[in-house]
Amino acid sequence: MMLFSNYYLFFTLYLLFFDNFLYLCDNNFNSLKDMSKRNNFIWIGIQVICWLIFLGYCIQTGALLFNYIFSLFRPIATHNLHLGLDLSELYYKSISIYTFVFAVIIAISVLKAYVFFIALKLFKSLNLVKPFSENVAAIIRKITYYTFSIGIISIIAQKLVSRLSEKGYNCGLAERYWDDGGAYLAMTAILFAIALIFNKGIDLQKENDLTV
């Protein structure tokens, strides 16, 4: 469900920005007051989804961090750390590797929450009357950087855990926390396209401001 929401968010962002970009080009940067109700509905929907995903990752990160600390004092908790995550075998075999795997899980969860936090800042900064600005472009570049980082870290984590499994270390369902690395790399490509469109929109907006 979370993976579907991620795809939905970034694909809709791409469509919305691209649609508005074409609108501006075709109408010589006239006011966006006549933006269709469909776009307004999509815009509100994206923000709601963003908030839900952000809160979901915050809750997940908090639960993971609490359960890790608690498991150090009560090893019995390693049998069900988060939504059925069982790392008890790994804990009793090597606490250092257990800590490493858990640190990766928490780090990826934090990064995902931060990505959607930045996305919320994007909605706050974006002015639909004059959407193309350096500040918004910088936020989009920042989101692109972090989605790329999540994708790369997830792929590396998947390779490392596969190696650990080959050596007899059972990491349980840990892979489900980074099995969407490919999805985040795909999001990076979409966001990169949005960034290019946005940069072109900034140039056109500057040209329009000079001719007014």
Calpha distance 172→105 (Å, rounded): 12
User: Backbone dihedral region of 35: left (phi > 0), alpha (psi from -120 to 50 degrees) or beta?
Assistant: beta
Go through the chain and tell me how many residues it has: 212
pTM: 0.79
pLDDT along the chain (212 residues), means of 10: 48 50 46 54 78 91 93 89 87 91 93 91 76 82 92 92 87 86 87 83 72 60
The predicted pLDDT at position 1 comes to 42
Residue ranges of domains in the chain: 2-25+34-211
The predicted pLDDT at position 61 comes to 93
The predicted pLDDT at position 110 comes to 95
The predicted pLDDT at position 153 comes to 94
Structure tokens at 81: 């750390």
